[in-house]
Chains A and B, each alone.
Chain A
Amino acid sequence: DAGVTQSPTHLIKTRGQQVTLRCSPKSGHDTVSWYQQALGQGPQFIFQYYEEEERQRGNFPDRFSGHQFPNYSSELNVNALLLGDSALYLCASSLNEGHAFFGQGTRLTVV
Chain B
Amino acid sequence: AQSVTQPDIHITVSEGASLELRCNYSYGATPYLFWYVQSPGQGLQLLLKYFSGDTLVQGIKGFEAEFKRSQSSFNLRKPSVHWSDAAEYFCAVARKGKLTFGQGTILTVHP
B-contacting residues of A (Cβ < 8 Å)?
Answer: 4, 31, 33, 35, 40-45, 48, 55-56, 58, 88, 90, 92, 94, 96-105, 107
Q: Nearest Cβ distance between residue A43 and chain B, in whole angstroms? A: 5
Residues of B contacting A: mostly? strand
B97 touches A42 (CB 8 A): no
Within the assembled complex, what's the spacing in Å between the Cα atoms of A55 and B46?
23
The interface bits of chain B over 55-93 (1 if a CB of A lies within 8 angstroms of the residue's CB, else 0) are: 000000000000000000000000000000000001010
User: Taking CB as reference atom, which chain B residue is nearest A58?
Assistant: B98
Given A99-B46, A103-B43, A42:B103 Cβ within 8 A: yes
Task: Tell me the B residues contacting A by CB distance below 8 Å.
Answer: 4, 36, 41-46, 49, 90, 92, 94, 96-104
Tell me, in angstroms, the Cα distance from A56 to B94 when the chains sit together: 13
Residues of A close to B94: CB separation below 8 A: 97, 100
Known A41-B103, A42-B102, A42-B103: A31·B44 in contact at CB below 8 Å: no
Known: A97-B96, A102-B43. A43 touches B101 (CB 8 A): yes
Q: Given known contacts A43-B90, A99-B49, is B97 in contact with A31 (CB within 8 Å)?
A: yes
Q: B43 touches which one: A33, A44, A99, A104 (CB < 8 A)?
A: A104
**Least distance between A103 CB and chain B CB atoms (Å):** 5
* Contacting pair B44 A90 (CB below 8 A): yes
With a cutoff of 8 Å between Cβ atoms, the chain A residues found around residue B43 in the complex are 4, 90, 102-105
Hey, which chain A residues are within 8 Å of B45, CB to CB?
102
- CB neighbours of B41 from chain A (8 A): 88, 105, 107
Query: Chain A residues with Cβ under 8 A from B92's Cβ?
Result: 42
Is the beta-carbon distance between A96 and B97 smaller than 8 angstroms?
A: yes
A35 to B44, CA, bound (A): 11
**Which of B46, B100, B102, B104 touches A45 (beta carbons < 8 Å)?**
B100
Partner of A104, one of B42, B102, B103: B42
